Amino acid sequence: MPDSHGVTDEQARWLRALLESRPKKGSAGPVRMPDEVHRALFEKGLIQWKRGQMEITLEGIHLVARRPPLAD
């Protein structure tokens, strides 16, 4: 179900995974999300490419922070 930003549960899961994969000690490593999810998040301005790497935008971080974690 999409939220007020038009982000579906699946997109939110991938966005959270991208946030959690940010470089830090013990990080999970690069995230390889499905093309359709990548395209949708990019078009919504929630992810971007910087220096050849996909990263979450500040808007994406705020969305993840406001949205409760989803059960797997």
pLDDT at residue 70, rounded to an integer: 66
Domain containing 33 — which CATH number? 1.10.10.10
Domain that holds residue 58: 9-66
Q: Which two tokens stand for residue 11?
A: 């997109």
Is residue 48 a part of any domain in this protein? yes
Helix H, strand E, coil C: the string for 34-54 is: CHHHHHHHHHCCCEEEECCEE
**b/e map 32-43, b = 16+ CB within 10 Å:** ebeeebbebbee
* pLDDT per residue as tens digits for the range 5-54: 689 999 999 999 888 886 654 545 567 889 999 999 999 999 998 888 88
Is residue 44 a part of any domain in this protein? yes
Is residue 37 a part of any domain in this protein? yes
Is residue 4 a part of any domain in this protein? no
d(CA 9, CA 53): 24
Confidence label for 56 from pLDDT (cuts 50, 70 and 90): very high
The answer, as to whether pTM is greater than 0.75, is yes
Is residue 1 a part of any domain in this protein? no
Is residue 71 a part of any domain in this protein? no
Confidence label for 1 from pLDDT (cuts 50, 70 and 90): very low
Question: What's the structural domain count of the chain?
Answer: 1
Best CA proximity match to 11, nearest among 22, 19, 51: 19
